[in-house]
Amino acid sequence: MRARPLRTGCFWFIIKIVADMALAGNTLAESGGGMVAVRDGKVLALLPLPIAGLMSGRPVEEVAGQVHSVHKAWEELSCHLEPKSRLGTKKSCMTP
């Protein structure tokens, strides 16, 4: 099994495929931050968090669906981090 890149905020996990890592970083740069799963040059799932790279202005139902998609994609990549717990660890000194 090959390792796959996962990107969340300013943390990289399971980095081995340079082209996928670049795609993950570029995807997050374009979306303003968030969480992404990439495999073989394709974005499997994306949770855009464009407000300071920490928050979304989208409806909660939409964001919940994106969190679920990221979690499912991460599991397919053999990563067992829980996106919801990653969201809970993101801290900011700003209050919107």
Q: For the whole prediction, is pTM greater than 0.75?
A: no
Residue-level pLDDT, tens digit, the chain, 96 residues = 455 554 444 444 455 688 888 898 899 889 988 888 998 899 999 999 988 878 889 999 999 999 999 989 988 888 766 655 555 444 444 444
Burial (Cβ within 10 Å: 0-12, 13-18, ≥19) of residue 24: buried
**Sequence-ordered list of residues with C-beta below 8 angstroms from that of 73, at least 6 positions apart, any chain:** 37, 44, 45
Upper half-sphere CA count for residue 83 (Cβ side, 13 Å): 26
